[in-house]
Amino acid sequence: MKVLSKGVGLCLILGICISDVQTTEAAVTTWAFDDSGTSTQTITINSAIFTTSNINSGSGTFTRMFAVDEQQTDPNNPLPSGSAQAYNDDVKNNFPFNQKTGAGFTPALTLGQLPVVTINGTKYLQFAAAYNGGSSVSLSQFKVWMSHTAGTNITLYSQITSNALGTKVYDLGSNQIDASGYSSGNGTANMFYNIPLANFAGWSLSDSVYVFARFDNITGGGYDAIAYDPNGTPLGSAPEAHTIWGGLLMGCFLIGGMLKRRLQKPIAVE
């Protein structure tokens, strides 16, 4: 399986310039859950923990940021059949992105809204994925950015690779997760994406979070959604927010005080 990326301003010798054209890159490493769909399984990639689940995440339970329509047939869609990609933006079918928008979707997300979970003593911020009933699906790209700016809109895939949405805090990299067997239909969270809380240190709770996902090998079903659980413990109300961000501020005050005292120390004149 190869991941698709894009090159901007690729001009052919014939004098025809093609911008934002997807080209193939190196093969990815595939991580596969078994296809039983019954047991909880865990995979760790680039310090993030991806865990299978089978809990209710229907409308009113989880907040869906965006979904991709695997039945997308618009001729302007540059992706091959069985592939879809999107980020949390409120512009529907903003090609080359296939996000579904409207009622039932809340794309805007701030850091303080994400739930905090503890896994083996380490704190993580948690996203959820719902794979809607297809016989196969793979997560081939998952990226997260932080930004001081809300409502950023992009129109080219090259803006994903150039980090136009903000400062990247997580990237699945050259990895792909085969989640076949865990696609149980709308209303079920099939997988949790747990990103280390430490990756977000230094950002304000009111700063914006941007999430991009690409799914490949999609067969059947309706759409795949990226969401979060608003009924969990949001970072904005968790003690961890004060521990990490307060600790950073305290460190700044201590360093500033030390520098001030050093500058105020009398200088001996010989």
Helix (H) or strand (E) segment spanning residue 188: strand 188-196
Q: 256 lies in a domain? A: yes
pLDDT in tens, 83-139: 888 898 876 656 678 777 666 788 889 999 999 999 999 999 999 888 765 667 889
Q: Residue 133 is encoded by which pair of tokens?
A: 């009933």
In this structure, is residue 12 part of a structural domain? no
User: Is the residue at 170 inside a domain?
Assistant: yes
- Whether the pLDDT of residue 29 is over 80: the answer is yes
Mean pLDDT score across all residues of the chain: 74
More confident residue, 15 or 188: 188
Work out the average pLDDT over 25-35. Answer: 70
| C-alpha to C-alpha distance for 246 and 233, rounded to whole angstroms | 18
254 in a domain, yes or no?
yes
Is residue 270 in some structural domain? no
Rounded mean pLDDT, 243-253:
49
Of 1-5, 90-94, 195-199, 232-236, which gets the smallest average pLDDT? 1-5
Most confident region among 89-98, 141-150, 226-235, 237-246 by mean pLDDT: 141-150
pTM over 0.85: no
Q: What is the mean pLDDT of residues 72-89?
A: 72
State the CB neighbour count (10 A cutoff) for residue 155: 14
Which pLDDT does position 17 carry in this prediction?
35
Write out pLDDT tens, residues 176-185: 998 776 655 5
pLDDT at position 233 over 60: yes
pLDDT at residue 217 above 70?
yes
pLDDT of 191-203, one tens digit each? Answer: 899 999 999 999 9
If one counts every other C-beta atom within 10 angstroms of the C-beta of residue 5, the result is: 15
Number of domains in the chain: 1
Highest mean pLDDT among 17-31, 38-52, 54-68, 122-136: 38-52
Give the other-Cβ count within 10 Å of 186's Cβ.
17
* Domain span at 152: 28-264
Residue predicted with more confidence, 34 or 184: 34
Structural domain includes residue 7: no
- Predicted confidence at residue 221, as pLDDT, reads 65
User: Residue 16: inside a domain, yes or no?
Assistant: no
Instruction: Name residues whose C-beta falls within 8 Å of residue 81's C-beta, 6 or more positions apart in sequence.
Output: none
The closest alpha carbon to 191, from 233, 155, 236, 139, belongs to: 139
Q: Give domain status of residue 5, yes or no.
A: no
Give 189: exposed, middle or buried? Use CB within 10 Å, 0-12, 13-18, 19+: buried
Q: Which pLDDT value is given to residue 36?
A: 57
Comparing 43-47, 126-130, 224-228, 242-246, the range with the smallest average pLDDT is: 242-246
pLDDT confidence of residue 21? 45
